[in-house]
Amino acid sequence: MSTDYGFIVNDLLDWYDKNARELPWRNQSNPYFTWVSEIMLQQTRVEAVKGYFARFVKAFPTIKDLATADPDQLLKLWEGLGYYNRVRNMQKAAITVVEQYNGELPRDYHALLKLSGIGTYTAGAIASIAYQIPVPAVDGNVLRVIKRLTGSYDDITLPKVKKELEEDMLKIMPAKHSGDLNQALMDLGATICIPNGKPNCEQCPLNKKCKAFQKNLTDEIPVKSSKKKRTIEEKTIFLLECNGKYALHKRFDKGLLAGLWEFPNMNEALSIEKLESILSEHGIHEYELELLGPGKHIFSHVQWHMIGYRIHLPKHDFEWMEDLVWVTKDTIAKEYAIPTAFKAYTSQL
């Protein structure tokens, strides 16, 4: 069952001419910059991206620079932005682009789609914005705007619903202004047809045609099926300090916060007595112990409840934990990417 959405194209393009947001990655013609912005914007708000975008393209001005970059330097530039696999995938794709496309992002939707970290949304966004290829870019904004427009109770978390909308939107893409149409839908979703709270329907260029507005259904549409609730994990974080240096540990290269640096830690809430006995078991008898405050961090699917200890050691040739590096506070700040989850303890270095 397909729907013809052709009746909204002119309204949206007219509205976009007057109301487009001015953003650092707009009004420029470098497809690589468009690519960087689209990766950063995945599940991430515009305001959060602005600073990261400027630093990133300054440090890596070309796809070749990205392809040859030090992975740890990339993670440092991404530090705090989240979803760190995005930057790993982007470098992997950059290497592919250098090897297969002479360092130039392909002007082809399906070729873009094959690159690591580029799915249907991002391929459509790059193709339409950077190359004016008439393909849609269906993100959460577009799903929300269109489902409200038609008063549809489709569950927008279902892959089938997104796929059908992509097929319908493909049919109405204008030959020359596909990038503008896609961005019009996104700007409308971000500024007028907003997700939380009351949308600003009185300002909407589509309100005369919008079923959700006419029937007062904007608080029930779009429908999103409920999510799993978060599990809680207890952790004990150690600030091991010796001769002005701190111990860091590199996380496993798969899974949560893959490849980032962390303070040594254990996956349980450790009492002082238990900690003292563990240290004793490892032959560690000279140290100063300080209990640090609790820390909490919420991820999408899990939350950490942490307690911390500062352990001041006279020497670091002990055999409690493996694979530690010892670095100064300044070096950590410049070179080591530590996720925000440890903020309660990085602030006490």
Partner DNA sequence: AATTCGGGGTA
Partner DNA sequence: TACCCAGAATT
The pair of three-digit structure tokens given for residue 112, joined into one six-digit string: 């873009």
Altogether, the residues listed in the chain come to a count of: 349
249 φ/ψ angles, rounded to the nearest 5 degrees: -135, 135
Binding to DNA by residue 283, rule CB under 7 A?
Answer: no
Compare residues 18 and 160 and give the one whose CB is closer to DNA.
160
27-46 binders of DNA (CB under 7 A):
37-38, 41-46
Binding to DNA by residue 154, rule CB under 7 A?
Answer: no
Active site residue 276: no
Nearest-angstrom CA–CA distance, 143 and 267: 40
Compare residues 287 and 299 and give the one whose CB is closer to DNA.
299
What amino acid is encoded at 128 in this protein? Answer: S
Stretch that binds DNA, among 63-71, 172-180, 223-231, 305-313 (CB under 7 A): 223-231
Compare residues 113 and 242 and give the one whose CB is closer to DNA.
113
Burial class (CB in 10 A: 0-12, 13-18, 19+), 245: middle
Binding to DNA by residue 96, rule CB under 7 A?
Answer: no
CB 48 within 8 A of CB 37: no
Catalytic residue among 22, 38, 166, 202: 38
Binding DNA (rule: CB under 7 A), the pick from 6, 71, 80, 244 is 80
101 φ/ψ angles, rounded to the nearest 5 degrees: -125, 25
Binding to DNA by residue 190, rule CB under 7 A?
Answer: yes
Binding to DNA by residue 203, rule CB under 7 A?
Answer: no
Stretch that binds DNA, among 54-62, 115-123, 171-179, 239-247 (CB under 7 A): 115-123
Residues with Cβ within 8 Å of 184's Cβ and at least 6 positions away in sequence, in order, are 12, 13, 15, 16, 20
Nearest-angstrom CA–CA distance, 336 and 76: 6
Nearest-angstrom CA–CA distance, 297 and 232: 10
Compare residues 184 and 313 and give the one whose CB is closer to DNA.
184
Binding DNA (rule: CB under 7 A), the pick from 5, 83, 101, 318 is 83
3-state secondary structure at position 259: coil
Q: Which residues bind DNA (CB under 7 A)?
A: 21, 23, 25-26, 37-38, 41-48, 80-85, 89, 116-123, 125, 139-141, 144, 158-160, 183, 186-187, 189-190, 195-197, 224, 226-229, 254-258, 297-301, 339-341, 343
Q: Which residues are catalytic?
A: 38
